[in-house]
A = this chain, B = another copy of it.
Amino acid sequence: MHIESVDFFYLSLPVIQDIGDGSQDALLVRVRAGSYEGWGECEAAPLPSIAALVCPMSHSACKPVAASVLGQPLDDRADIARISQLVRRNSLDLLQADHTLSGIDIALWDLLGKRLQEPVYRLLGYDKAYPKTAYASVLFGNTAQETLEKARRIRASGFCAAKFGWGPYGLGSVAADEAQVRAAREGVGPDLTLLIDAGTVWGEDVGAAAERLPALAECRAGWLEEPFVSGALHAYATLAEIANERTDFRVRLAGGEGAHNPYMARHLIVHGGISFVQIDTGRVGGITNADEVAHFARWRGVTYVNHTFTTPLALSASLQPFAGIEDAAICEYPVEASALAHDFTLESLPVDAAGEVRVPERPGLGMTPDVDALRQYLVPVEIRVKGELLYRTPEL
């Protein structure tokens, strides 16, 4: 069986707001081989990712991603690994390639699972999938009062864990951030797991981050996520040391969603002192690379967590790489996703009465894009180079 087509679909809400909600648009990927169809998603800027799929070759190490995928044999997981390596080698100098590959790799796993009638996590070598405690992932309110109300609603919805991030956090005073974190803790109550996401707001300013530790410790934050940009390993390592020296409560660090290859995640683990590595399969190069990170993290005693803020399809893809790791017990669960994300698939991935979510036991990713519903979100794109049509949105 050979890969016959790779189609990208740019989907979007009619109006994109200037807020941290990444579910306002999506890049859906469809791969066809033999009589099978696989679906994936790039968690990426759609237009540059489409351009990376179809662009003209610049030189031997700067080829369009499609050149390393179309026509390739696809019979087992070794084929997917080989395609991933091919893309890396042939598109070494094409920066956007990792994001473009991500959705394709996910679709290849979905397709292979459907063909072999197995959920992806089994193809990855796991015997069973453990349920994960879903943490409700939301943006901070614009005020502490708004955050308090959000937190109360999350508790009332039956979640056992919640994460607040972005919004005003880190942009104002230490006192304002303290009020936000206290409001979040008050709203979720004393027993829920509370996580805080700084969204890289301090760049590499260790001092600014360290000033927030007392409030985080007092409110028993389960982690402080992305205090710094992914590359600032020295800042991560220094803050981890400072946090570990506190005797009241140890605030652990989380990071890795910006990793667009397994190396970046490894660097945060080995050199950054993080305790949780958060991987978005839609960015890191897909399930193949995420699986590599999951194994590395386990070996190093770091907890793997998915990064997912968008659709149920992306959520299923993000859960597969650590589905069988029992002690990686929590998962990110989007609860403020857009109408687009909500309409995305025929199936849903609900949170049960125990606050847990389960990876589907259906073949592949077990999620079917609701193409009839998605057509209304389709953004038509046309790219012409030298008068030749390189890309036009295909039929969904």
Taking a contact as CB atoms closer than 8 A, the residue among B59, B231, B380, B387 that contacts A261 in the complex is B231
Q: How far is the CA of A266 from the CA of B271 in the complex (A)?
A: 12
A6-47: CB near B (< 8 Å → 1, else 0) gives 000010100011111110110000000000000000011111
Q: How far is the CB of A140 from chain B (nearest CB, A)?
A: 13
User: What is the count of identical protomers in the complex?
Assistant: 2
Secondary structure at the A interface, as helix, strand, loop or mixed, is: loop
Query: For the complex, is A88 an interface residue (Cβ under 8 Å from B)?
Result: yes
**What's the least CB distance linking A69 to chain B, in Å?**
16
- In the complex, A150 has a CB within 8 A of chain B: no
A386 near B382 (CB under 8 angstroms)?
no
Complex alpha-carbon distance, A247 and B6, angstroms:
53
Is there a chain B Cβ closer than 8 Å to A174's Cβ?
no
A51 at the interface (CB under 8 A from B): yes
Q: Is A96 an interface residue (CB 8 A)?
A: yes
**Does A62 touch B at the CB level, under 8 Å?**
yes
Within 8 A of B (CB), among A189-241: 199-200, 203, 229-234
In the bound complex, what is the Cα–Cα distance between A271 and B234 (angstroms)? 11
Contacts of A258 in B (CB 8 A): 92-93
> Which of B50, B61, B231, B267 makes the CB contact (< 8 A) with A51?
B50
How far, in Å, is A43 (CB) from chain B's closest CB? 8
Taken together as a complex, chains A and B put the C-alpha atoms of A145 and B262 apart, in Å, by 39
Of the candidates A96, A203, A260, A383, the one having the most CB atoms from chain B within 10 angstroms of its own CB is A96
Can you list 20 A-B pairs with a CB-CB distance of less than 8 A? A18-B60, A19-B60, A22-B62, A43-B93, A44-B93, A45-B58, A45-B95, A48-B51, A92-B258, A96-B96, A231-B262, A231-B264, A231-B266, A232-B263, A233-B263, A234-B266, A267-B267, A379-B385, A380-B384, A381-B385
Point out residues on A near B: beta carbons under 8 Å. 10, 12, 16-22, 24-25, 43-48, 50-52, 54-62, 85, 88, 92-96, 98-99, 166, 199-200, 203, 229-234, 258, 260-264, 266-267, 270-271, 283, 379-387, 390
Which 3 pairs show the lowest CB-CB distances between chains A and B?
Answer: A231-B263, A47-B55, A51-B51
